[in-house]
Copies of this chain bind each other. A is one copy, B any other.
Amino acid sequence: MSPGLASALGAARVFDLEQLRYQGAPSHPAHAPGFNYFLHRHHAPGATEARTGASGIVVMPEHSGTHIDALAHQAENLTLHGGVHVDSGVQTSAGFRVLGIETMAPLLGRGLLLDVAGAQRLPDEHQITPEELERAAAGAGVEVGAGDVVLVRTGFGALWSEPSAYLKAAGVSGPASRWLVDRKVKAVGADNMAWDVMGPTDAELGVTLPGHVLLLVRAGIPIIENLNLEELAAAKVYEFAFVCLPLKMRGATGSPVRPIAIAGP
């Protein structure tokens, strides 16, 4: 039993790191039409009893809103993490038979905020360098270590209600992703659409979104996208207990999530 843990959690300040899900929220072009919700069962007069139930239907890419990428999401030369070659035994019309999101355990542990943006949003499409990560860690008085969940703040999370501005977000450069891989972090996340800056080809790897190859494919480190880190940064909470609970959707390449940071007493 864990009365201590339960009451600690009950007393702690909880930071909600999820952005609101709504039709028209920022969406990557590859993940159109983004989040959609239709309420078709309404509370209405004329029911057969006093109780009525209302409910709806959700249509969304698993990569909509705040979400975590499963390892199957990305391949390099048609090979997934761990050297799994993608063939019809692995990849089906209903999802992946290996490395789908349902294989990802609940994510709990030490979380760190690297607030690269600080008081001012980073420039559009700025590529965060390893030095900037180091400086943010030093400024926060934390050291990135094995097993940590590292959240990088660009400041673009504040633009969630302005899709076109949001889609120009700064991101983490290939070298900075490598810096995190070298520190053996457990997971990473950022307050932008794609962790990486969208568009440019990485000089060393020769691919776009280099962090997706370095983290997901090569290192097996999941990426969380579209985080809302504004409140956490404003409170200057740089170290916290982190919890993220991906939905076990069989075969899916990711899951919408509502990660939280818990700042304990």
- A positions within 8 Å CB-CB of B: 1-10, 12, 14, 16, 18-24, 30-47, 49-63, 65, 72-78, 80, 86-89, 91-96, 102, 105-106, 108-111, 147, 201, 205-209, 212-213, 217, 237-243, 245-254, 256-260, 262-265
| Cα(A259)–Cα(B247), bound, Å | 9
Extra pairs beyond A7-B110, A38-B38 (12, CB < 8 Å) = A1-B240, A2-B264, A5-B241, A6-B239, A6-B242, A10-B110, A18-B245, A39-B91, A46-B87, A50-B213, A243-B243, A245-B257
Measured CA separation A33–B54 after assembly (Å): 16
CA distance A14 to B239 in the complex (A): 21
Contact A5 B3 (CB under 8 A): no
Residues of B within 8 A of A201 (CB): 49
Q: Is the CB of B263 within 8 A of A1?
A: yes
User: Which 4 A-B residue pairings sit nearest by Cβ, starting from the closest?
Assistant: A2-B264, A46-B88, A5-B264, A33-B33
